[in-house]
């Protein structure tokens, strides 16, 4: 029998090698078709008396990334359709659907013949759950091997046996750590946790897997044998009595109770270890069905799984423009930002010319790249040879003539119109006719900068976030005259350096910075009201933000806030800035409290290893409220609502045109409460009508900046959502 996604070869020893190699896909994924074929292969190998055992491996450089988009989408589609059609039985049908993969893996595990998974690269999610159901697991010791159950990062949890098999192989504490963080394991760490049996050289992988079967591997999982005990003895032991009372508290400390999927992992493990294995799988299936119905799971999967993949694959790329090949990219401005852009470009294998005013400044930029390389080498993220190869691609120079054959030039000089104008003239004097000119500006409108260009249709903004090598987002900004080719080239470049782009129209601060400064501005208001600074920071973290607004302001620099206020007053008039905010920021700047870079801002930064701490002088700036008089729930609402409201304004103004980009941009750009799915999903999740009512309540007490916009009022009256009214799939965009 032949299969579309698998190839089977049985050797003279009666061992069937099943090679998973999906046509037209760079990585194997679990689909309904793959599961049907795997089911047939189990039946075929069981029925064939000549087959003594089975080895399953991948025909690609990685094993599998887990479930496919189509499978995830189908679960939510079924749920919505059934709720509309037959609400009484909708959950039953979802329960049956969620049990299909788990049931298939259990069938493999109990088929009576030994199966060994030969893991040759990335093995994630459902694919690792498939491997866990095999009786033996052998992993390659190649650096590319990453083993993980990362489902919690997209709002769900390992629902195909993962929460039951992992704690029956590894100790419960390690199992919980792995699953509640979704962290990746190396092959060696997976072996140390008892999740794989052997780690071998890549060329020995298949032979070692087959040898396990030849050596008499039992076709029975440990938990199906009489007298099985979980590592550490299960739930009712002195060790477990120390672990389990603390586990929910530790999870709450890390997640503030915002992630139902993470809590469900604890429940699945705690309850599952007390019952027989098949009952435990049913417990997991019940919790998985429940979690799939939560707003958090729906919103997180949509933004962090589906939308991120679609945007990463060029959902906003104009059709009909040939794909760009980058033979050389020029970076003008070799400061920390420009040098870091050069580093990520060279890391993608693209030759880079790093230009500054003189050779010394350009060389200084390359030394930043050298520092980043040595950091990666010391952490084992790249070999010494790979680091040397990367640095060979970066040429520092003061000669603008070296841009004469560049496909793309990115200007990353100081945020000053005159400086940028002078640099633009030098670049355009040598830039080839078809090449694209991009500015990495963080606040200055692109249309204004494009006035310095002779060819504004080839001028675009590519806004990177610091630190460039870690931040996965880039904002691609369209000026009024930016053409399709410039957009296509910018998106191709962002794809080449493996970052996620969002495309926004031109405005002061674009999308991300507008939202960030609303967040920081709300913290200024709270400080002025006398809310203790520690409560502001803690409320932000409880609301799901990765860092508090005052800490974030220190990171971006307090004097940057000051400069932005000054520029805003100069361009838009004094009414554009709250005078109380200006007074607060001016006070800090005059005292030399510029943020982390000056070792003091809203926080003090003592020499390491001491930790940063809030500046005690903050409480002397304004009369303080008693902590017990401050409602933490309201603080959390204010911080999230002010950001979401600004995101809604950018949609109303036509700055952001695709809700996927607002959501993904807010999470990747500044960590907007990921459990909400992003700014617009936060509004859609509670319902626009509820959001409008909340805005009106906050506006009455805390100021007119909370007033809902005309768009929101209209949507609330019509019962609309952002994903309904601005449906990203309705415009015939590639997705």
Residues that are catalytic: 463
Token pair, residue 528, equals: 């002025």
Give the up-direction half-sphere exposure of residue 219: CA atoms within 13 A in the CB hemisphere. 16
Best CA proximity match to 324, nearest among 307, 343, 305, 348: 348
Best CA proximity match to 496, nearest among 372, 347, 355, 353: 347
| 516 preceded by a cis bond (ω within 30 of 0) | no
Give the SS3 label for residue 475. Answer: strand
Cα–Cα distance, 702 to 217 (Å, whole number): 68
| 71 preceded by a cis bond (ω within 30 of 0) | no
65 close to 122: Cβ distance less than 8 angstroms: yes
* DSSP, res 303: I
Cβ atoms within 10 Å of 730's Cβ, excluding its own: 9
Cα–Cα distance, 142 to 441 (Å, whole number): 40
355 close to 403: Cβ distance less than 8 angstroms: yes
403 close to 431: Cβ distance less than 8 angstroms: yes
**In terms of C-beta density within 10 A (0-12 exposed, 13-18 middle, 19 or more buried), how is residue 319 classed?**
exposed
Going edge to edge, which strands form the sheet with 394-397? 394-397, 352-355, 329-332, 408-411, 436-439, 459-464, 473-478, 500-505
For residue 575, list its beta bridge partners: none
Q: How far apart are the first and last CA of the chain?
A: 35
Cα–Cα distance, 473 to 468 (Å, whole number): 9
Give the SS3 label for residue 275. Answer: coil
Token pair, residue 269, equals: 């493990």
672 close to 541: Cβ distance less than 8 angstroms: no
Residue entry with tokens 């109303």 = 652
Output the CA–CA distances (angstroms, integers) from residue 567 to 416, 699, 719, in the order listed: 10, 27, 39
């Amino acid at each position: 029998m032949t299969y579309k996604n698998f190839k089977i070869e049985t050797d003279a020893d009666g061992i069937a090698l099943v090679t998973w190699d999906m046509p037209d896909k760079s990585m194997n994924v679990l689909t309904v078709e793959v599961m049907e074929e795997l089911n047939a292969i189990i039946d075929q190998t069981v029925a064939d008396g000549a087959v003594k055992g089975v080895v399953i491996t991948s025909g690609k450089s990685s094993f599998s990334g887990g479930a496919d988009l189509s499978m995830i989408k189908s679960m939510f589609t079924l749920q919505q359709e059934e709720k509309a059609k037959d609400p009484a039985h909708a959950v039953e049908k979802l329960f049956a659907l969620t049990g299909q993969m788990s049931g298939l893996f259990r069938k493999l595990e109990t088929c009576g013949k030994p199966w060994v998974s030969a893991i040759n690269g990335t093995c994630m999610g459902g694919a690792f759950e498939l491997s866990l159901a095999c009786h033996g697991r052998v992993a390659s010791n190649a650096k590319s091997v990453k083993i993980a159950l990362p489902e919690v990062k997209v709002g769900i949890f390992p629902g195909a046996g993962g929460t039951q098999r992992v704690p029956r192989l590894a100790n419960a504490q390690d199992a919980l750590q792995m699953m509640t963080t979704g962290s990746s394991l190396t092959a060696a760490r997976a072996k140390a946790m008892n999740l794989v049996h052997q780690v071998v050289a890549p060329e020995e992988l298949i032979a070692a897997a087959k040898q396990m079967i030849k050596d008499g591997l039992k076709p029975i999982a440990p938990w199906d044998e009489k007298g099985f005990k979980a590592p550490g003895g299960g739930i009712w032991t002195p060790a477990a009595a120390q672990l389990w009372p603390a586990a929910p508290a530790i999870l709450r400390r890390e997640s503030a109770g915002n992630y139902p999927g993470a809590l469900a992992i604890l429940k699945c493990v705690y309850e599952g270890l007390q019952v027989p294995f098949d009952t435990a799988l049913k417990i997991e299936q019940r919790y998985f069905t429940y979690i799939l119905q939560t707003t958090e799971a729906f919103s997180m999967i949509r933004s962090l799984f589906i939308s991120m993949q679609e945007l990463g694959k060029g959902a906003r790329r104009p059709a009909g423009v040939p794909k760009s090949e980058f033979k050389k990219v020029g970076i003008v401005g070799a400061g920390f930002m420009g040098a870091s852009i050069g580093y990520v470009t060279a890391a993608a294998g693209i030759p880079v010319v790093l230009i500054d005013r003189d050779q010394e400044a350009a060389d200084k930029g390359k030394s930043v790249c050298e520092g980043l390389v040595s950091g990666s080498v010391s952490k084992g993220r790249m070999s010494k040879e790979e680091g040397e190869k990367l640095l060979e691609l970066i040429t520092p120079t003061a000669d603008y003539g070296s841009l004469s054959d560049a496909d793309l030039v990115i200007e990353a000089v100081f945020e000053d119109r005159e400086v940028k104008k002078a640099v633009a003239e030098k670049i355009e004097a040598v830039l080839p006719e078809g090449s694209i000119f991009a500015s990495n500006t963080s606040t200055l409108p692109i249309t204004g900068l494009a006035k310095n260009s002779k060819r504004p249709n080839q001028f675009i903004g590519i806004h990177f976030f610091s630190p460039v090598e870690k931040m996965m987002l880039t904002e691609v900004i369209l000026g009024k005259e930016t053409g399709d080719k410039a957009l296509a080239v910018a998106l191709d470049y962002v794809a080449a350096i493996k970052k996620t782009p969002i495309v926004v129209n031109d405005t002061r601060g674009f999308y991300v910075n507008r939202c960030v400064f609303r967040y920081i501005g709300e913290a200024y208001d709270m400080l002025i009201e006398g809310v203790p600074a520690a409560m502001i920071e803690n409320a932000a973290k409880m609301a799901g933000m990765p860092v508090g607004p005052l800490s974030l302001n220190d990171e971006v620099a307090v004097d940057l806030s000051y400069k932005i206020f000054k520029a805003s007053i100069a361009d838009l008039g004094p009414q554009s800035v709250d005078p109380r905010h200006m007074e607060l920021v001016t006070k800090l700047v005059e005292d030399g409290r510029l943020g982390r870079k000056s070792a003091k801002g809203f926080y003090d930064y003592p020499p390491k290893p001491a930790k940063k701490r809030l500046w005690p002088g903050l409480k002397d700036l304004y009369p303080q409220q008693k902590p017990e008089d401050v409602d933490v729930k309201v603080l959390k609402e204010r911080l999230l609502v002010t950001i979401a409201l600004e995101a809604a304004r950018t949609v109303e103004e036509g700055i952001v045109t695709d809700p996927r980009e607002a959501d993904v941009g807010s999470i990747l750009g500044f960590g907007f409460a990921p459990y909400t799915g992003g700014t617009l999903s936060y509004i859609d999740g509670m319902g626009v009508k509820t959001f409008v009512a909340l805005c009106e309540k906050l506006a009455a007490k805390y100021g007119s900046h909370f007033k809902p916009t005309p768009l929101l009022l209209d949507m609330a009256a019509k019962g609309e959502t952002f994903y309904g009214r601005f449906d990203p799939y309705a415009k015939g965009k590639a997705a």
